[in-house]
Amino acid sequence: MSQNRRLVYAKPAIFKSHGFLNIANSIKLIPQRDMKMTVQVHPFFDPATYTYSYVVSDAASRQALILDSVYDYDPASGRVSTSSADAVIEFVRSHDLDVRWILETHAHADHLSAAIYLQEALGGTTGIGSRITEVQSVFSGVFNLGPDFVSDGGQFDRLFEDGDSFEFGEHTVRIMHTPGHTPACITYVVNGCAFVGDTLFMPDYGTARTDFPGGDAETLYNSIQKILALPEETKLYMCHDYLPEGRNEYRCETTVAAEKQGNVHIHDGISEKDFVAIRESRDADLAAPRLLLPSVQFNIRGGRFPDEESNGTAYFKIPVRKV
Ligand SMILES: [Fe+2]
């Protein structure tokens, strides 16, 4: 399905967003004053899971990295589709970009990652935070994956430690561990931009939930302080936007200054204790994400399905919770 056809079925607010339509209609890179010294950030929005994926490119070398991609999945039928990922592939090819990295900010619990599908099409090295091993261990137990599933992060090409960095064209990408939503969450910082995953959301929506296994509100508070210690003009790119009341456009970009001034959960003056109380009270009312169970099983495998069974079909498990 083409990205334009997909929009036919999207709700009206999407048409005003940074989503597929806008992107499809502005298939040019954002002009910059000094093309040699900038990275260009191109967002893709998946309205089914409210997820922002990004293609980040270096103007001079045309090297690119892809962040938090989406593999479409319908839990009712079990059908998968590659329309979101294909839009990314089309963009990369039409701009003649050289994909070096396919990255995750964390193991997502609300959508499946298209990392492997994209890697097969475009090349590049997959990467995630080194503490993915903790997430794998927990969910290996939850889904009783047995000895065939190894919780060593080997499903990813590169595991990033806090403070790691890598060269990207003329730039350096720095990795900050920013746990709290999950233990493995990381933020990628490059050329005045930070891709914060599920930590902060847009100022009028707040912060990410901390009620998943290994999540912790106090830890998230401290991670967010690390992000807010970046220069005030740093551009922050969200992994999600859920369109809070009072706004009719999806947004993915803000700044450190704007978050410090106006984030509804954690602006300047909110103490750690206050934040933990706000976060935990909100978490108590949140339902499980629609794609939680398939997403986790897919994403801890680095973006792969479980092995096919003897009939040639792969299955996700659904635990029955009696309490
Ligand atoms: Fe998440």
Q: Mutual orientation of helices 272-283 and 217-228 as an angle, nearest 10°? A: 120
Compute, in angstroms, the gap from residue 300 CA to the centroid of ligand 1.
13
Compute, in angstroms, the gap from residue 35 CA to the centroid of ligand 1.
33
Residues 6+ apart with CB under 8 A from 29: 40, 42, 57, 59, 95
Compute, in angstroms, the gap from residue 208 CA to the centroid of ligand 1.
8
Flag whether pLDDT at 11 surpasses 70: no
CB neighbours of residue 155 within 10 Å: 20
Compute, in angstroms, the gap from residue 138 CA to the centroid of ligand 1.
16
Compute, in angstroms, the gap from residue 185 CA to the centroid of ligand 1.
8
Nearest to 80 by CA among 56, 48, 52: 48
Compute, in angstroms, the gap from residue 222 CA to the centroid of ligand 1.
17
User: Quick one: pLDDT at residue 6?
Assistant: 33
Residue 49 near residue 70, CB atoms below 8 Å: yes
In the chain, the domains with their CATH numbers are 3-296 (3.60.15.10)
User: Quick one: pLDDT at residue 321?
Assistant: 85
Least confident of 33-37, 116-120, 185-189, 275-279: 33-37
What pTM does this model have?
A: 0.89
pLDDT classification of 235: cutoffs 50, 70, 90:
very high
Compute, in angstroms, the gap from residue 32 CA to the centroid of ligand 1.
31
Residue 16: strand, helix, or coil? helix
User: What pLDDT digit, counting tens, does each position of 134-174 carry?
Assistant: 999 999 999 999 999 999 999 999 999 999 999 999 999 99
Q: Which two tokens stand for residue 286?
A: 């949140």
Compute, in angstroms, the gap from residue 308 CA to the centroid of ligand 1.
27
Compute, in angstroms, the gap from residue 313 CA to the centroid of ligand 1.
28
User: How far is residue 229's CA from residue 232's CA, in Å, rounded to a whole number?
Assistant: 8
Torsion of CA 168, 171, 172, 177, to 10 degrees: -90
Residue owning tokens 């999945």 = 73
User: Quick one: pLDDT at residue 38?
Assistant: 86
Phi, psi of 137 (to 5 degrees): -60, -45
Compute, in angstroms, the gap from residue 107 CA to the centroid of ligand 1.
7
